Amino acid sequence: MKGFAAVAPYLQNPLTLIGFVLFLVFGLFDRIIAAGILPPLTTEGGLQVVQLLLSYGFVLALVPTILGMGLQYYKIHRDLVVNTKVEARLTELQAILPGLAKSIAEIAGAARLSGDKLEQAKAYLRDAENLIGQSGRRINAGNLVLMAKAYLLVGQPERATSCFEQALQEGPTDAEAAEARQGLATSYQLQANEALRREDFRHD
């Protein structure tokens, strides 16, 4: 058991896992045959076994393949549903934050929001966060970049950094990756500004 625990982490890849299960099943068959538990087969019996193996082997291979594809389709569909909902929230956010359509550098130079608009923007962001948190689904790079830009506008550069970094991990398009890199330069700069201000405050 101790030995298996050491090997277990290497079995996470589905291909390795399938190979391992086949290894166990056929290893068991091999043992059964070697132990002589099974009586020798007649020619007719042997033919039936081969036919069974061929037909059910095909079904056995087909079932996990179809189930796997179905599961993957379900996952992709759920990701899509959540992303569509998040996108809808962000589109609503865009209506009250016209600056969201601007480039990262323009956002960095723009004023931070204040008052009602800030509270409204924060509420939309919270909605989007809740949707993501509850679903546990993966958010696409485009939505992550939009969320990050909104975080910059509401003065939360740490959260923006985290979204931009995630966006780079989610297979972004070239344009999305470029925007995420620009965004990271800006969000780190803003975080440093905050830290420098705190230092100044301590020195005062």
* Closest approach of another protein to the CB of residue 176, in Å: 12
Q: How far apart are CA 136 and CA 100, in angstroms?
A: 25
Query: By CB under 8 A, is residue 184 in contact with another protein?
Result: yes
Min CB(118)–another protein separation in Å:
11
Contact 163, 148 (CB under 8 A): yes
Nearer to another protein, 123 or 178 (CB): 178
Decide: 62 and 118 in contact? Cβ < 8 Å.
Answer: no
User: Smallest gap, in angstroms, from Cβ of residue 152 to another protein?
Assistant: 13
> CA-based Rg of the chain, rounded to a whole angstrom?
28
- Residue 110's contacts (CB-CB under 8 Å, 6 or more residues apart) are 99, 102, 153
CA 146 to chain centre: 17
The count of residues interacting with another protein (CB under 8 A) is 31
Q: Which long-range contacts (CB under 8 A, 24 or more apart) does 8-14 make?
A: 14/68
Of 142 and 183, nearer to another protein (C-beta) is 183
Q: How far is the CB of 86 from another protein (least distance, A)?
A: 25
Q: Is 76 in the site for another protein (CB under 8 A)?
A: no
**Closest distance of CB 185 from another protein, Å:** 4
Assess 182 for contact with another protein (CB under 8 A): yes
Minimum Å gap between C-beta 154 and another protein is 13
Cα(153)–Cα(156) distance, rounded to whole angstroms?
A: 8
Q: Which among 40-48, 52-60, 67-75, 187-195 is the span making contact with another protein, rule CB under 8 A?
A: 187-195
Residues of this chain, 120-179, that bind another protein according to CB under 8 A: 158, 178
Residues of span 91-120 touching another protein by CB under 8 A: 103-106, 108-114
Ordered DSSP codes for 116-134: HHHHHHHHHHHHHHHHHHH
The SS3 of residue 112 is coil
Residues that bind another protein (CB under 8 A): 103-106, 108-114, 158, 178, 181-182, 184-186, 188-189, 191-197, 199-201, 204
